[in-house]
Amino acid sequence: MKGTMIAAATALLFVTGLASAEENLRGRTIGSACFGCHGAGSDSGAAIPPIIVGAPAQFIEDSLKAFREDSRPSTIMGRIAKGYTDEDIAAVAQYFSTLGGN
Ligand code: HEC
């Protein structure tokens, strides 16, 4: 009985996780503009630019805001980040953090 409860709870968590990834349409749409440079998966082998798939959402969000405010130096990301609102940044950060299985 206890095992069944745990299995059910795990399944529920899994489904909820998938659902929230699916619902993040804004993050997915914005994210599609990033793959060209950042690679489609953590096995892309790309060293430059850095791999962001599976990075913590908070790290991505902080990085994009710092690029946007020019408080973190960049060649490209400053210009890209300036196109996005706080909500866009939160959505795309959330999206990338849910990819890559880590
Ligand atoms: C034209 C290529 C290009 C595109 C498109 C691009 N990036 Fe980047 N990204 C870079 C480069 C290059 C860096 C290293 C910093 C710099 O020089 O701008 C970087 C750095 C980053 C970092 C810091 C990662 C770290 O480990 O420090 C994050 C987060 C990031 N990009 C997120 C994004 C997101 C989100 C998008 C889509 C909205 C995006 N990037 C689109 C080229 C790109």
- The CATH number linked to 31 is 1.10.760.10
Report the first-to-last Cα separation within the chain, whole angstroms.
30
> Looking at ligand 1, which atom is closest to the CA of residue 84?
38
Residue corresponding to tokens 């210009």: 79
What is the reported pLDDT for 30?
96
Candidates 26, 29, 34, 44: which one to mutate for ligand 1, based on the most atoms within 8 Å of Cβ?
A: 34
Ligand 1 binding pocket includes 75 (Cβ within 6 Å)? yes
How far is it, in rounded angstroms, from Cα 31 to Cα 85? 14
- State the distance from the centre of ligand 1 to the C-alpha of 18, rounded, in angstroms: 25
The two structure tokens encoding residue 40: 């489609």
How many domains are contained in the chain? Answer: 1
**97, pLDDT greater than 70:** yes
pLDDT digits (tens, 9 = 90+) for 1-60: 666 655 655 554 455 555 555 679 999 999 999 988 887 665 556 557 888 888 999 999
**Residue 31 phi/psi, 5° resolution?**
-60, -30
The domain in which residue 58 lies consists of 25-97
